[in-house]
Chain A
Amino acid sequence: MNDDKQPVKKMSIIVSRGSLDGIYPALIMANGARMEGIEASLFFTFFGLNALANKTLDHLKVATVGNSALNMAMSMLGLPMTIPFPTVMGAIPGVSAFATHLMNKEMEKLDIPPVREFLELISDSGGKIYACKLAMDMFKLKKEDLMDRVDGVLTVGQFYEESAGAGTHILFT
């Protein structure tokens, strides 16, 4: 039991994956932090930039290949979640789109916003949204290719500077 409870003051969340299921946990954790009065910043790097690029962010897909836990999604079809979902099936055209459709529908029921609206919500709540400079260069992206709520394009060093302070937790997703 930790008697000397130091509150979490800030969450700095690194988002490195670009599938729908790779992005949402980070958005939910950042928004949840703000709702608790905890500062939040999101640093999108590598494939995470998929969630900031204007051309792609409204069309993120659930990863159905190489996702050995996709049996969880069976419950969305009213089936037992113990039914296996062979990963080769995930490669069939339309399966990822269908899984994405199912998940979006379930999330809407829970009042979880689409990615763009979610980023706007986090930004309105005072959360910061950053893109990784190195990943931007790698994927040939410019600041103007990103959605308008991006607060800046940072180097790794600048991100760590931005995260400074006792009570900050850095989370890699």
Chain B
Amino acid sequence: MNKTIAGTEIDVNEEGYLTNASQWNEAIAAAIAVEEGVGPLTDAHMKVVNYLREQQAKGAALTIRSMGKSGVVTTKELYDLFPGGPLKKSSKIAGIPKPVGCI
């Protein structure tokens, strides 16, 4: 599927997750964040987003527990920053696939 966001055409799946990570940039992240009701991205949001992208590049499985232990963000902060689905929404904004785990 194609979608035009922040003036750029990107490839996404039916749930809106980017399917081509190289198309991601910060303007796209900001536009997805608004769509997801997360609002304007702050430095705290970007720290999480960048961490997610690094972990994804390493092939690490992302869980809510590992995020809380990452030192980048606490569990509470993560829920506050991305209300209504901390790992799902932050992953979508980070342009990485939807997390598949249950934890």
Contacts and interface: CB of A to CB of B under 8 A. Distances in A.
Interface stretch (A31-39, A57-65, A137-145, A148-156): A31-39
A111 B79 contact: no
Contact of A36 (B88, B101, B103): B88
Nearest to A32: B102
Contacts of A124: 68, 74-76, 79
Given A28-B102, A32-B102, A111-B103, A121 B65 contact: yes
Given A37-B83, A125-B79, A110 B103 contact: yes
A167 interface: no
A35 B75 contact: no
Residue from the set B86, B88, B103 with the largest chain A CB neighbour count within 10 Å:
B103
A37 B84 contact: yes
A37 B102 CA distance: 13
A52 to B, nearest CB: 19
B66 interface: yes
In which size bucket is the chain A interface?
Answer: 10 to 19
A124 B67 CA distance: 13
Nearest to A112: B103
A58 B48 CA distance: 31
Contact of B88 (A35, A110, A111, A117): A35
A119 to B, nearest CB: 12
Contacts of A113: 65, 103
B64 to A, nearest CB: 6
Given A35-B64, A121-B64, A124-B79, 19 more contacts: A28-B102, A28-B103, A31-B103, A32-B102, A32-B103, A34-B79, A35-B85, A36-B85, A36-B88, A37-B84, A37-B85, A110-B101, A111-B66, A112-B65, A112-B103, A113-B65, A121-B65, A124-B68, A124-B74
**7 nearest CB pairs, A to B:** A37-B84, A124-B75, A37-B85, A111-B63, A124-B76, A111-B65, A111-B103
